[in-house]
Each structure stands twice: as C-alpha cells, then as structure tokens.
Amino acid sequence: MHDLTGFQRDLLYVVSGLAEPNGLEVKEELEEYYESEIHHGRLYPNLDTLVEKGLVEKGQLDERTNYYTVTRRGRRELRARREWENDYLRANDRIDLPRDEADG
C-alpha cells in the first residue's frame, strides 16, 4: 500500500466501507469527503490501478455497471495501514500537553 497515492488509498477505504459499490457510489462518497467534483477520468483509472494491484476486485452488475469489492490482500493492506497509523497516533497521545495545545 506504500506505493499508492493518497487518492488511491481513499478509494480503497471507500470501497471497503460500502457493500459492493458501483463507480457512481464511490464517486459520490469521495465528492462528499473532498467537497469537490471527482471526474470520471480520475476515478476509473485509479480504480483500475487498485484492481491491477490485486487490492480490489471488479465485477459486473449489468452491461454498463461494474461493482467493486476489496480483496483479501486489500483487507490485509488496510489492517497493516491502520496498525501503522495507530502506532503514531498512540505516540501522539503520550505527549503531555493540554488537548487544545496539542491540536493547534
């Protein structure tokens, strides 16, 4: 997962959090998070990259609609990323500063 862009990582998180979302559902979730439009030319090539890396599987709902699901490898990578992040967040929690000073 270390070779993914931030956008690709966000895509992986969104796909993992939804039940077999189609591209439009993924797009809507990201647009809400980023508070800006996500163009198809950015979304689908990055989803395809996740498929090529074996992190996401793409299936077909009908002739025009695909769905996405996180693979076993993708789930392992997400768990490893969460553990890595938690290590640093726990270290930050050990800093003995009042909460408002630590935040700003």
The CATH number for 32's domain is 1.10.10.10
Neighbours of 55 (CB within 10 A): 25
Q: Tell me which residue range forms the domain holding 80.
A: 6-103
Q: Which amino acid, 97?
A: L
> Can you give the pTM of this predicted structure?
0.82
Neighbours of 42 (CB within 10 A): 13
Structural domain tally of the chain? 1
Which pLDDT tens digit goes with each residue over 27-67?
Answer: 999 999 999 999 999 999 999 999 999 999 999 999 999 99
